[in-house]
Amino acid sequence: MELSFPFDPLQRSEEAERLVTKEEKRLYHKFRAAPYYGGIATADSIGCSFLCAYCWSYGRNENPALFGRLYSPEQVADNLLRIARRRSFHLLRVTGSEPILGKVSLRHLLKVIEIVHGEEPRAKFILETNGLMLGHREDLAAQLKLDHLLVRIAIKGVDPVSFEKITGARAEFFSLPLKALQNLNRLSVRAWPALMADLFNETEIAALKRTLQESGIRAELELESLEVYPFVLENMRRRGLLTNS
Instruction: Say if residue 242's pLDDT is above 90.
Output: no
The full set of domain ranges for the chain reads: 9-238
Instruction: Say if residue 230's pLDDT is above 90.
Output: no
pLDDT at 3: 80
Q: How far apart are CA 113 and CA 149, in angstroms?
A: 8
Q: For 212, what's the count of Cα atoms within 13 Å in the CB-facing half-sphere?
A: 26
Main-chain dihedrals φ then ψ at residue 93, nearest 5 degrees: -160, 165
- Nearby residues of 210 by Cβ (< 8 Å), 6 or more positions away: none
Q: Collapse the DSSP code of 98 into the 3-class scheme (helix H, G, I; strand E, B; otherwise coil) and give the result.
A: coil
- The tens digit of pLDDT for each residue in 150-159 reads 999 999 999 9
The mean-pLDDT minimum among 33-47, 67-81, 175-189, 218-232 falls in 218-232
| pTM of the entire predicted model | 0.95
Annotation: CATH topology of 9-238: TIM Barrel (3.20.20)
Q: Which residue has the higher pLDDT, 1 or 185?
A: 185
pLDDT at 245: 41
pLDDT at 243: 59
Instruction: Say if residue 26's pLDDT is above 80.
Output: yes
Share above pLDDT 90 across residues of the chain, in percent, rounded to a whole number: 91
Report how far apart, in Å, the C-alpha atoms of 123 and of each of 6, 40, 150, 185, 243 are. 39, 10, 11, 22, 44
Q: Across residues 181-193, what is the average pLDDT? A: 97
pLDDT at 73: 98
CB atoms within 10 A of CB 4: 6
H-run or E-run covering 30: strand 25-34
CB 216 within 8 A of CB 193: no
Q: How far apart are CA 103 and CA 110, in angstroms?
A: 10
- The tens digit of pLDDT for each residue in 120-167 reads 999 999 999 999 999 999 999 999 999 999 999 999 999 999 999 999
The alpha carbon of 206 is separated from its chain's Cα centroid by a whole number of angstroms, namely 23
Report how far apart, in Å, the C-alpha atoms of 26 and of each of 14, 50, 64, 188, 221 are. 14, 18, 11, 28, 30
